[in-house]
Amino acid sequence: MNYRHSFHAGNSADVVKHSLLIALVRALQQKPGALTLIDTHAGCGLYDLGGEQAQRTGEAAQGVLRAFADANPLLDFYRTAVQAVNDVDEPRFYPGSPQVLAQLLRPQDGLILNEKHPEDANILRGAMRGTPAAVHERDAYEFWLAMLPTRTSRGVVLVDPPYEQTDERARITATLAAAHRKWAHGVSVIWYPLKDRVTHQQWKRQLRALGIPKFLTIEHWLYDEDMPGIYNGAGLFIVNPPYAFAQALPPLLESLRAALAPQGHRGEIAGTWLND
Query: Would you please indicate which residues are annotated as catalytic (active-site) residues?
Result: 160
Contact in structure between 228 and 268 (CB atoms under 8 Å) = no
Closest CA to 78 of 160, 18, 158: 18
What CA–CA distance (Å, rounded) separates 122 from 130? Answer: 15
DSSP 87-139: SSSS-SEEE-HHHHHHHH--TT-EEEEE--SHHHHHHHHHHTTTS--EEE-S-
**DSSP collapsed to 3 states, 2-36:** CCCHHHCCCCHHHHHHHHHHHHHHHHHCCCCCCEE
Residues 6+ apart with CB under 8 A from 81: 18, 22, 95, 99, 100, 103
**Closest alpha carbon to 210 in 250, 169, 245:** 169
Residue 247: partners with Cβ closer than 8 Å, 6 or more residues away: none
Residue 90: half-sphere exposure toward Cβ, Cα within 13 Å: 7
Does residue 194 sit in helix, strand or coil?
A: strand
Helix H or strand E encompassing 228: none
Amino acid of residue 84: A
